[in-house]
Chains A and B, each alone.
Chain A
Amino acid sequence: MMSKKERLVAAIENGTVIDHIPAEKTYAVATLLGLQKLQTPVTIGYNYPSKKLGKKGIIKIEDKFFTDEEISRLSVVAPNVVLNVIRDYEVVEKKKVVTPDTLKGIVRCNNPKCITNNEPMNTIFHVIDKNSGIIKCHYCDKEQVISEVKLV
């Protein structure tokens, strides 16, 4: 048995640690944050046991701090994750995901007859109800639930 105090992944000096990611969303979070394009070290932990979630993911990104706009993209797949901002091995800030008023180029419209599924163009959604996750396509006006849309 692993001790609770034992770290699952090595600590980082400066950067961002994202914890409590629902395990199956781990790679979606990595994709949404564009981690594959980074040059700094990234550790992706997957299927770690978690009391709250059963299984969880952890991502540690060295020397990278995300803007609020970048973080807001996570509202689609993992609205409850917390981003720990690390400086000199200490957590100096905990950032929560805030659902933005509009989602640009993040998710696909569920309506096959929508122009966004028939032209090479960006999607735009207006967030109608942040609590119940209802979003509305800017083009075809179809309302849909955020948990039922696919990422672009």
Chain B
Amino acid sequence: MEKHDFVTIADLSKEKIMYLMNMAQAFEMHPNREILKGKVVATLFFEPSTRTRLSFETAANRLGARVIGFSDAKVTSATKGETLKDTILMVSNYADVIVMRHHIEGAAQYASEIAPVPIVNAGDGAHQHPSQCLLDLYSIYKTQGTLENLNIYLVGDLKYGRTVHSLIMAMRHFNPTFHFIAPEELAMPEEYKLYCKQHGIKYIEHTDFNEDVIAGADIIYMTRVQKERFSDLMEYERVKDVYILKNDMLGKAKENMKILHPLPRVNEIAYDVDENPHAYYIQQAQNGLYAREAILCDVLGISLEEVEADTTIIK
């Protein structure tokens, strides 16, 4: 059997994305099972990321797998100068699947080429974070009932924010209209605008962020404007409070509109928004559990049919 990896979202077909949506939905109905009983999942976090690690480990545990791994490269042989290759091959002796996070870009792709077991990319530097993207897609699918023909507003740091870049690539199959709302210094890079043109994705750019601009949104995807991204701190001071979503900006919002955020947030969504029915960022993180249950099963060769016919469900 060909080895399945989950390294990038960029090359997933529409069919595959919908297949994984359906699988995540099946896990949302029954998240607790023993379908992975007897399997060992390794979580190798060469760079700390508590949220992502807990989400993957919860997914593994709720499906009956056992988990080994480390949460910080400081405790591993990587600090002694061991290559990634040696670490991956060593852990492949122990585990049925490796979930890895690394600060180096392309690390997961390389690991997938050398490892005899499936590799799941839990983030490789500024490059890709495909499980985050899948949970974003599932959150959109679940709240809108479809991924087709949506107006998606991306707000904040569109230059460095890898989650927004992945979202554009994953949504290319579904005829979206994107709105890019960002300060000039953090505007959507040309290469992604070119990507949109090449794939026939409609987009509109804004520098204003107010009640009227967002009135047409089905999804508002907020990201953090980070101080360290600015070369000009005067510019940061000028724009830092412009891209904050406040409750009084939501008066004209469409009823179905939901606000997403990959978290952690700092101040870009005011706390008075949390009680608004449009707020969805906390539930979004919970969808990560179902998305990651689907990812683990998919790379281990368990099909949607098997998930649906599963007799190991714990009620």
Residues in chain A within 8 A of chain B (CB atoms): 111, 113-116, 118-121, 137-143
Instruction: Decide if A139 touches B84 in the complex (CB within 8 Å).
Output: no
Q: Mark B13-25, 1 if CB is under 8 A from A, else 0.
A: 0000000000000
A140: contacting residue among B10, B103, B106, CB under 8 A: B106
- Interface size on B (CB < 8 Å)? 16
Query: Chain B: which residue is nearest A111 at the CB level?
Result: B105
Q: Does B94 contact A (CB under 8 A)?
A: no
A121: contacting residue among B85, B124, B191, CB under 8 A: B85
Instruction: Decide if A140 touches B127 in the complex (CB within 8 Å).
Output: yes
Chain B residues within 8 Å of A111, by CB: 105
Bound complex: CA A118 to CA B223 (Å):
30
Bound complex: CA A118 to CA B106 (Å):
10
Residues 123-153 of B at the A interface (beta carbon under 8 Å): 124-127
Chain A residues within 8 Å of B73, by CB: none
Q: Does B107 contact A (CB under 8 A)?
A: yes
Chain B residues within 8 Å of A116, by CB: 106, 110
For A111, A138, A140, the residue with the greatest tally of chain B CB atoms inside 10 Å of its CB is A140
Chain A residues within 8 Å of B124, by CB: 115
B256 CB, min distance to chain A CBs, angstroms: 34
A10 CB, min distance to chain B CBs, angstroms: 48
Q: Does B89 contact A (CB under 8 A)?
A: no
Query: Chain A: which residue is nearest B108 at the CB level?
Result: A115
Bound complex: CA A141 to CA B125 (Å):
12
Instruction: Decide if A139 touches B191 in the complex (CB within 8 Å).
Output: no
A119: contacting residue among B84, B103, B125, B191, CB under 8 A: B84
Residues 54-80 of B at the A interface (beta carbon under 8 Å): none
Q: Does B207 contact A (CB under 8 A)?
A: no
Chain A residues within 8 Å of B84, by CB: 115, 118-119
Query: Chain A: which residue is nearest B127 at the CB level?
Result: A140
Q: Mark B99-114, 1 if CB is under 8 A from A, else 0.
A: 0000111110110000
Q: Which 5 A-B pairs have the closest CB atoms?
A: A139-B106, A140-B105, A115-B106, A140-B106, A115-B107
B191 CB, min distance to chain A CBs, angstroms: 7
Q: Mark B279-297, 1 if CB is under 8 A from A, else 0.
A: 0000000000000000000
B198 CB, min distance to chain A CBs, angstroms: 11
Chain A residues within 8 Å of B104, by CB: 113-115, 118
Known: A120-B85, A142-B105. 10 other contacts (CB 8 A): A111-B105, A113-B125, A114-B105, A118-B84, A119-B83, A119-B110, A138-B106, A139-B109, A141-B105, A143-B191
Instruction: Decide if B106 touches A114 in the complex (CB within 8 Å).
Output: yes
A92 CB, min distance to chain B CBs, angstroms: 42
Bound complex: CA A120 to CA B82 (Å):
11
Bound complex: CA A120 to CA B127 (Å):
20
A135 CB, min distance to chain B CBs, angstroms: 14
Bound complex: CA A140 to CA B83 (Å):
18
Instruction: Decide if B109 touches A138 in the complex (CB within 8 Å).
Output: yes
Show 24 A/B contacts (Cβ-Cβ < 8 Å), sorted by A: A113-B105, A113-B126, A114-B104, A114-B105, A114-B106, A115-B106, A115-B110, A115-B124, A116-B106, A116-B110, A118-B104, A119-B83, A119-B85, A119-B110, A121-B110, A138-B106, A138-B109, A139-B105, A139-B106, A139-B110, A140-B125, A141-B10, A141-B106, A143-B191
Query: Chain B: which residue is nearest A139 at the CB level?
Result: B106
Chain B residues within 8 Å of A119, by CB: 83-85, 110
Chain B residues within 8 Å of A139, by CB: 105-106, 109-110
For B104, B125, B191, the residue with the greatest tally of chain A CB atoms inside 10 Å of its CB is B104
A45 CB, min distance to chain B CBs, angstroms: 41
Bound complex: CA A130 to CA B84 (Å):
33
B105: contacting residue among A115, A120, A121, CB under 8 A: A115
Bound complex: CA A143 to CA B190 (Å):
12
A142 CB, min distance to chain B CBs, angstroms: 8
Instruction: Decide if B106 touches A137 in the complex (CB within 8 Å).
Output: yes
Query: Chain A: which residue is nearest B114 at the CB level?
Result: A121
A77 CB, min distance to chain B CBs, angstroms: 25
Chain B residues within 8 Å of A140, by CB: 105-106, 125, 127
Chain B residues within 8 Å of A137, by CB: 106
A103 CB, min distance to chain B CBs, angstroms: 16
A120: contacting residue among B83, B125, B126, CB under 8 A: B83
